[in-house]
Amino acid sequence: MAANSSDQPISDQPVLEELDRAECLKLVAGGSVGRVAFDDGEGPTVIPVNYAVDGDTVIFRTSVTGRLNRSLMTAVVGGEVRAAFEVDRFDEADHAGWSVLVRGGAHPLSDEEKARVTPVDPWPGGDRDAWFRLTAMDVSGRRLHRP
């Protein structure tokens, strides 16, 4: 992707580029681990989850008895909880990478909805029967690269 030309000072200047919504959603669709942020009543918290993209929404699964579901269910007001979902990829060697942030409301899925959405494969296995859908109200992203 990015050309290596570290012997020229000017090319060492990193470029921070805003990504448009379409590119952001494409990058999110290519990943499998993201991070859900929400307020669990004791301030902001962040939990990694496996996910799948379903149209303009993000589906993620967690354990019914786990802390994510307990916290999210506690935080749900009027059927949904405000949440942010972040996916990124960084290259430590090149000091480059990208990140996408999806903000919106998350709501728990009914069994009927679960059967209709893109399935999610949770790495930890076991009971992951609490499914959520985050609707992308706001999508933003940035890429850091060397020209």
Residues lying near a copy of itself in the complex (CB under 8 A)? 5, 13-14, 16, 32-33, 35, 37-39, 42-48, 82-84, 86, 88, 90, 92, 95-97, 99, 101, 103, 123-126, 144
Q: Minimal distance in Å, beta carbon 27 to a copy of itself?
A: 13
Residues forming beta bridges with residue 86, ordered by sequence position: 35, 101
Asked whether the beta carbons of 109 and 73 are under 8 A apart, the reply is no
Considering the complex, state which of residue 98 and residue 131 has its C-beta at the smaller distance from a copy of itself. Answer: 98
End-to-end, the C-alpha distance of the chain in Å comes to 10
To 10 degrees, the CA torsion angle through 46, 50, 53, 54? -100
Rama region for 122: left / alpha / beta (φ>0; ψ in -120 to 50; rest): beta
Considering the complex, state which of residue 1 and residue 115 has its C-beta at the smaller distance from a copy of itself. Answer: 1
Considering the complex, state which of residue 96 and residue 109 has its C-beta at the smaller distance from a copy of itself. Answer: 96
Q: Minimal distance in Å, beta carbon 2 to a copy of itself?
A: 8
Considering the complex, state which of residue 26 and residue 35 has its C-beta at the smaller distance from a copy of itself. Answer: 35
Q: Minimal distance in Å, beta carbon 74 to a copy of itself?
A: 15
Q: Which helix (H) or strand (E) holds 25?
A: helix 21-29
The answer to whether the Cα torsion of 20, 26, 27, 28 is positive or negative is: positive
Q: Minimal distance in Å, beta carbon 117 to a copy of itself?
A: 21
